[in-house]
Structure 1
Amino acid sequence: MAKYDPLCGHLRRQRQAEFELTFPEIERILGAMLPNSATRRQWWANVTDPDTTHVQRKAWREAGYDAFLLIGKDCVKFRRSG
């Protein structure tokens, strides 16, 4: 199982078009700590390149969401894409 598969599964079960998860909530879902780089907006960028090597991006994109870091809140807004 890939590290971000639990996040993908969690997102797929959501029915809301938009919601927020704090870093601690995401870490609970993952069962692991987020990397320090997760505090940077680029880490949460919504890249549409199917060959991206950023596995975290594939997790929310495959679940049908875009992710947006809320600076200063250690929180991420997930919004249905498309």
Structure 2
Amino acid sequence: MGKYDALGAFLRRWRVRNDAEGVELGFAHIENIIGGLLPHGAAEPEWWCVNGRADRNAPHRRAWLEAGFEAIAEPRAERVYFRKRSTD
């Protein structure tokens, strides 16, 4: 089981139980979910962005993408908004 699998599982459960467009999580909440600290790179918006196929394969991004979300980060505020992706 990978470090970010628990985040993916959390988001999948959240998606089933909620009708809202997305959920905002603080870094501390995400760290609680994954059972460890986020890396220093999480303080940079690029860590959360998906800009190409290679980016999608990073384990942390795969967790929310496979759960059907995109991440919109505010690293300085230490929070991330996970928005449901359309299922076109």
Query: Normalising by the residue count of structure 2, what TM-score does the alignment of the two structures yield?
Result: 0.84
Please identify which structure carries the higher helix content. Answer: 2
Q: 2:21 & 2:55 partners in 1: Cα distance?
A: 26
Counterpart mapping for 1:11-26 below 5 A: 11-14=11-14, 15=18, 16-26=20-30
Which structure 1 segments of 5+ residues have no match? none
**Structure 2 residue runs without a partner (length 5+):** none
Q: Distance in 1 between matches of 2:2 and 2:10?
A: 14
Specify the structure having the higher radius of gyration (Cα).
2
Q: Match for 1:29 among 5, 28, 33?
A: 33
C-alpha distance after superposition, 1:22-58 (max 9, x if no partner): 0000000000000000010110013462784411000
Correspondence 1:72 to 2:76:
yes
Is the CA contact 2:50–2:56 (under 8 Å) kept in the aligned structure 1?
Answer: no
Indicate conservation of the 8 Å contact 1:47/1:57, yes or no.
no
Paired residue total: 82
Deviates further, 23-32 or 69-78: 69-78
Instruction: Specify the SS of the correspondent of 2:77.
Output: coil
Report the counterpart of residue 8 of structure 1 in structure 2: 8
Q: Percent identity?
A: 38
CA distance in 1, matches of 2:55, 2:79: 27
Partner of 1:58: 62
